[in-house]
């Protein structure tokens, strides 16, 4: 029984790795001022999301409205 589970895990890992290899991360940018409210984006947010264009509050609003 262990061999079947091991084989299934190996196959699942191959499929997972293939799927993850297609994910592209957005590059970092030098934007430090929110494109919506003109407030600073903040160091902690830029460290967590180097590609951020909006402050956390505006991004939250954007996500709720447009997704």
Computed from CA positions of residues 23, 26, 56, 43, in that sequence, does the dihedral angle turn out positive or negative? Answer: positive
Is the pLDDT at 35 greater than 70? The verdict is yes
Is the pLDDT at 29 greater than 90? The verdict is yes
Say what the pTM is: 0.60
Count: domains in the chain: 1
Question: Token pair for residue 53?
Answer: 């264009």
Which domain, by its residues, includes 35?
2-66
pLDDT (tens digit per residue) in 37-57: 999 999 999 999 999 999 999
The radius of gyration computed from the CA coordinates of the chain, to the nearest angstrom, equals 19
């Amino acid at each position: 029984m262990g061999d079947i589970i091991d084989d299934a895990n190996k196959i699942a890992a191959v499929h997972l790795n293939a799927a993850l290899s297609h994910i592209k991360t957005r590059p970092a940018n030098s934007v430090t001022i929110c494109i919506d409210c003109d407030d600073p984006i903040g160091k902690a947010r830029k460290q967590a999301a180097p590609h951020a264009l909006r402050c956390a509050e505006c991004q939250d609003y954007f996500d709720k409205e447009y997704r």
